A = this chain, B = another copy of it.
Amino acid sequence: MEKKERKPVYYSEYLQLDKILNAQSPESQKEGIRADDEMLFIIIHQAYELWFKQILHELGIIRGIFSQSNIENNTPDIYNSVHRLKRICRILDVAVMQMGVLETMTPLDFLDFRDLLRPASGFQSIQFKMIEASLGLKYDQRHGKAYYLSQLTTADVDRVKTAESELSLLVLIDKWLTRMPFVNNLEYWGQEGTSDFWNKYREAYVSSLSEAEMAQVKVFDSIFINKGEYPEGRSFSVDAARNAMFIMLYRDQPLLQLPYELLSTLLEVDELMSMWRHRHIHMVQRTIGKRVGTGGSSGAEYLRGAADSHYIFKELSELTSFLLPRHLLPALPGSLVDDLGYRK
């Protein structure tokens, strides 16, 4: 780094504050109407878009990491990925809390300028849709698909479609889990292979269930026992699901600690996205009630649909149902335990 030869960097130029702080042109001002809260409305949405850009930046780095072929083992890259996913969670915490600032705008104050914004709508945030796509949401899973098409320009639809066509984090995690070697490596397990392991596990699992929970056995079998009956339309392959389960069960082994952190942080991302949508719903309801949104949307309805169905890593979350207490877990072969440890 040639410190001396660089041009000095100043705060306001570095942050391009001339752009950032001159990008607020209230419509009410153009119309000569007094609407003191329109500035807040603009600025909070801009703050959200800045954070969305940052989330996309982090997701890009994480997807880059998982696109490499050689991260089967717990290299610095997985540590880095977990770190970045946790940062995304902290950003989402801010995003959720920030909604409280917008809630200081009363319905009456919003009405001062609301009509001037048609047909703009938060629904048109392309970056948010790209975040969803980048995590793994597919067009077919989007709540209100037709509506979605009608709201965006062709160029914007294309940007989202492109994002949807790339390898999402969900797909990359599935591939990484699928090729994880431990449960499937026959070397460790002898002739029986892992079917012996899962059969033993099943036995302990079934005996742990109450009467009311017996229906779960069929689901268990479809994932862990009968490869043939694997349910249609799942995001995770049977091997991925089994390896994810293995990680959750034996997360105390050194090599599985970070993979476990990774899986549980993915669930935290899903949870926080959902919290954000719920908080958003409440804000919308408080501000416009059952009115139709400026973009023509049924406001809260759409958000509720999305909040209930846009869980990307739902299949990971469902595996929790099949966990057993540590003292019932089958012991692992010694050679496997060795390989899950540090060299020293």
Contacts and interface: CB of A to CB of B under 8 A. Distances in A.
Grouping DSSP codes into helix (H, G, I), strand (E, B) and loop, the A interface class, with mixed when no group exceeds half, is helix
Contacts of A121: 11
A232 interface: no
Contact of A39 (B57, B287, B296, B318): B57
A68 interface: no
Nearest to A14: B120
A278 interface: yes
A12 interface: yes
B290 A318 contact: yes
B296 A49 contact: no
Contacts of A216: 290-291
Interface string A95-132: 00110110010111001101111111111111100000
A23 B288 CA distance: 33
Contact of A282 (B80, B119, B254, B271): B271
Given A51-B47, A97-B93, A257-B79, A73 B292 contact: no
A83 B111 contact: no
A323 B107 contact: yes
A171 interface: no
Interface stretch (A1-9, A161-169, A194-202, A223-231): A1-9
Contact of A97 (B10, B27, B97): B97
Contacts of A264: 106, 286
A202 B127 CA distance: 40
5 contacts: A15-B42, A36-B61, A80-B252, A90-B101, A278-B278
The 7 closest A-B pairs by CB, nearest first: A289-B320, A289-B321, A11-B124, A16-B23, A76-B252, A111-B325, A87-B104
